[in-house]
Chain A
Amino acid sequence: MKRKTTQSTEDLENEMETLNPEDEEETEKKLKGSKKKASASLTEDGVLRPLKLSKGELYKAPTVEELNQLKEAESLFHCSLLKMQMEELLKEVALSERRKKQMDSFIQQITDLLKSVPETPVVELSDLSWISESGIDVPFILVPEETKGKFHMEPPDSVDLIGSYPLGTCIKPRVSVDLAVTIPASILHPMDGINQRYSRKRALYLAGLAQHLSTSPLVGPLHYSCLHGNRLRPLLLVTPSGKDSNSILLRIHAIPPPDFLKPSRFHPQKNNVRTAWFTGQNAEQESSEPPTPQYNSTVVGDHLPRSHLQFLSAHSDQCPAFREGVALLKVWLRQRELDQGAGCFGGFLASMLLAYLLSTHKVGKTMNAYQLLRNVMHFLASTDLTQNGITLAKHPDSKVPSLHEFHSAFQVVFVDPSGHLNMCADMTACTYKQIQHEASLSLQFWDDPTLDGFQALLMTPKPMIRTYDNVYQLKDLVKMQASCKKLSLLSSLMDYGGNYILTVLPFILSLLQRGLGDRIRLLVHSLPSDPEWPVYSEPPMHKDQPPVSIGLLLNSERALSVLERGPAADSPEAAEFRQLWGSRSELRRFQDGAITEAVLWSGSSTCQRRHVLLEIITHLLELHADIPESCVSFVGGQMDDVIKVEREECSTGEEESLKVVQCFDDLSRKLWQLEGLPLSITSVQGAHPALRYSQVFPPVPVKLSYSYFEREKTSRALVPHEAKPCPYYITPIKVICHMEGSGKWPSDSLAIRHIKAAFHIRLGELLKTQHGYTFRPSPTHLDVWKDGLVFRIQVAYHREPQVLRESVTTEGMLIQRDNAEAQALELETQQKPFLTSTLHGLQQQQPCFSAVCRLAKRWLAAQLFSGDINEEAADLLVASLFLQPAPFTPPSSPQVGFLRFLRLLSTFDWKNNPLVVNLNGKLAACDYTEIKNHFLASRESLPVMFIATPNDKDVSVWTKEGPSVQMLQRVMLVAAESLRVLEAQLINPSLKQDIRVVFRPPLDVYDVLIHLRPQQVPLLSRAVDPPKTTGRQGTLDGDAASSGGAFPVVDFDPVKLYLSELRDAYGDLALFFCDPYGGTVIAVLWKPKAFQPQPFKTSLMNARRVEVTEDTATTVLNVEAIVQDFQIIGEGLVDRVDLRTERWVV
């Protein structure tokens, strides 16, 4: 706190200099100086300040140019900020001139090298002896091994640059330059299109080039890869030797001479891979060979890169912003992990799509990059290429296949300018749907004025695990071979050149789509990545690929339902339904009298039902694709453990929260109906996290064993026993009960307090006589024991804060002055109930809110941050994930919500931005600007973590007390690290580590650890790592009585009491941290200034000792006594105090 004030005074001085000189001219001069200063200080501490411009500068006559510029920013972009952001981004991803020069020279060297490849004698195609001497392998899985044909090496006809580099759409990082090497016609044979002969020759030719290049000292280690995961199109990756090896990457494609093979032979409905050759058996039926569209498009695609480049550069020359538009589009795709792997929507397709829009005049030539991007999004969102394909061919001749023919062979259709090639041949319908989904989402976010669209859409990565509600991984891909057989996909397998994963994937996807139906909104899959392997080793087998992930966006209404209701038993669709679900389908009779086919899955609690989808997926895959259950793993649900209410029962608290809310509703009804109150009740509102579903461990009704406790003398209430372990902790659930306003209320705050106490007694007595509840009144509240729960009713009078603020001046004027007491009361009796009811409403719309919120709070508590970020602030942080999910959709599973919470904590720029949580959608766009302006204007005096809500636009009531700058910094750090560890573990389940790692705080940063005696920690069983057996703590099995009985021990938590005493006494000297849910360690951190020796002063003597040197007395911290006090104050609770003196010296 001290630090902050010193900083702000400096800033004040700075600003004082910049403000208010009288003379106009002087203003100008000073302003320039101050501006420099402002920008300097700005880079120093990275805080935005309101800008001061002189009148002269603001009101001078504008030039035409300036006017245009301002207007353009206003009308074409949302605002000038967006325009500048885009420009900055493009600068950041563009290649530097220096790097281009480096590349050009390396390309020249390699081109020269390639042209000097020596000739080799002609050998049989299957004879690999000429190459194996050098140890270099062929980048091709030679199955079946037998092939006809001859091969020899010869220098290439030509070496050309193709792809994004010559086009200028190449962006950082992972810059790769594509180099096309034309295989001389003499090596190829006109019949090579058949049976992979051409593809193998191409691979051999690359191997020959690799052999030659490996002898050159210019070249670093060589690798093979393949284009978009297609094993029939291998690539040779060349990097320079030495230090530049990471910055430059050449990809060498071998391509046939143009027009070498007739494209019409590769019509999608023709066959070019013979079954007899592929299976090695002599099949008789020559006539009915299946078509091989995938193989055909591979071969045709190899002929066309040069003409594509020409086509694209013609378009890019016409439209000045073409390159920038493509660059933005590529960034967008890359953030969504769509730009790489098999069936990707890469940069090439992006350029082609833009060219298509240009050629069909859907975008204008003079549009800027931002407009191009928007239009592409719009086109993608509104055009379904799986139904209505598009073509770039202008004047198709008769030989060109029709769009209809393309559609019958491929899932997604986008035909290239030649008319023979479907550029989206390998894309699955799911991937395209994913692109469409992303595009329409993005459009929606661009149009939202309350959102920083740039940040959300171009700067935020969307990895699968953080984007999709549920992620399933298919491991042991080798099992898919069996599914090929089961699904009789031989012809398709032939078409894909033996890649059984790509063969099976579309079938699995459509199967799952059918089975999951309306439970999901979107089904996506990870794109099998491009393998990379050194030239000296064999190509990796298909089974060695990383697991395929399947991501689902859930439809929260239907996703977790246990019943799949099918068609009526006698309808024709019933057979289809039975076929899909197999033995799980059974006839059921429903309440409405219908008898239908249905499938019933298991699971009673929400926690269990979260596994219904897994059950469905494994069942379908096992039934239809022979993929055993062990191959499917569910990423998620691992974290449910830390918020489980009872270890034995499987419930993560949704049901318990509901029970508490129902019990509260009952109580509030009874309060309303009470008779005999002098004033009537105007409202009964909950003000406790349990009543907004966000209590980490919702209170559970308990039945008490009376013998465990001692009795209080007068009321016979239960009291904890000194010698026994701490009793079960019963949370008082706070309820605010507003009484009607009336002239009978006194106008003096002290008297109001007394009247409230009288109300507490009266309410309690009425509840006792009319409903038999046991109660305990106190001046500040009334505790009621009901259904095994305790409600803490607090009577409120709506004018009380007002009364506290009022005072009379000596002149007799009634003035209102805000004070802390009034604020605290308002917070308690008005804002908290309001927040509670609002979030209760949010939970009704977003059933996942509760679980995400509780996970997030569990994490905060476990990492010892719950003292700094209070319950309400955490609730609001989580609510913001649901209310402003951009660039995602609102989370529908606890895990994805939790990951996004960590991401929000670790990346949000609290210094310069308020977090606006638009509860109930009450804030309009103008409110946002108002909040932002106010925030910027008074940043220094506002809380470090600023959260604005519709009712609280400029104070941020929930974060006023903390966290401090230092604590927030630490929270961000820990959140980032937790996120990293957690994601790594979730993505790679083979790591077999405990997910609880992220819930165990690092204790090595603290100065003193106070270890507590576990049996006196009441919430021990809720700890992250609970002991195997915890006692009953004075509870019994069985249902709690609904009323009556002795009053239980309420809100007795020695740890909490101890902490508050410590903070009271030593809060100025040290910080105390503890996990409120069963933590057995209190961590202490000395404040640095506490250790400084101070001159003796009567006001500065607390917990210090005097040291006299000559005739001055100074005081230093009496650490020894303080540490002993820790033990004395916590007697009976403290086990030992661990001084970690390696971190500090007495």
Chain B
Amino acid sequence: MVRGMKKSKSKDRESTKIRKERVKELLTSLGIKIYNDLDNQIFPELEIPSRSVSNIVYDKRLKQYILGDAIIKRSSSNMRHLRSFTQLVWLAFFVNKLVNEGKTSTLRDIYYSSQAFNMDFEDQPESDHIITDLEALISFAREDFNIYPEERSSIFGDLTIEYTVRGYEGRRLNLADHPDGYLIGPSLSSAEFIETSAEMVLAVEKGGIFTRFVEENVHKKFKALIVDTAGQPPRATRYLLKRLHDELSLDVYILADGDVYGEHIAMVIKSGSANAAHLRELTVSDAKWIGVWASDIQKYKLPTDPMTEADIKRCYELKNDPRYQLDIWQKELDLFIKMKRKSELEAFAKYGLTKITDDYLPEKLKIANSL
């Protein structure tokens, strides 16, 4: 083993295997409860944390949105509930099978699979909604019961993983072996981390910058794992970032476009989104947003575009968001509003293709670490 290699601190988290067992347990006990009620001629009922806007609150201690105490009681005796109640139990039955068989499914697969069981979803949003209900009901993210969205982001860098998915158990792979990076899919998400020489994670918003960083050996120069979030990162990616941070004690740095949406990508990685307020395993609360700040645009004289009205409206919305109350977040929003200009990561190319890796990145990392 190379000196300085980190090993996974797996006691910090339940291993993937254990999590799956927990999920199976919860699903089975749900089934038993419903089975027994029906067998006793009682209409089964379920209590699900309410995900209505009024029940989403910001938890200052956790620094993320969480659900409040409001509960929705769904009863199979109610004609208006019975359909969605059955859909939910079908989903529990279906994902239980998925987990048992070690198979995965996409959101869209779920929508179509239902039809084989004589279940009717009006459209995919309806089935997506039931999936979120199940997440809230058992407090596990859908990835834990093997449902993944279609969108994928990628990772590259010196990290050895060991697969746990069926058919690949025990096989290892180093994530620096393929220069295009590896898709963060179900197999990678559920893999165990074996060892790494990296000391940090660099999450970048765009594929183009990701490729540039690989080409410029950023992973070696900065001892970094590079993650392409492909815009607002999917949950599997956020979950992976959290695991990298928790299990390997890697610092997470975020580099996104110099606009309000870039700033928000950083914030969602740090503090989560309102949409996933029922889940708590997705945030890296000490992740650091290193750019591109509004002030960087001025400092580095980056080429800019004018902000649209929607951009400006979004700035004002976020200014009132509880997650944005800290100094730097407010300050940068104010500056965006004042400048009414925005810029992109690619804009550094004006000063040469390697400007971003040669000068900007080291300078920003330095600042971040001095804070």
A and B interact physically: no
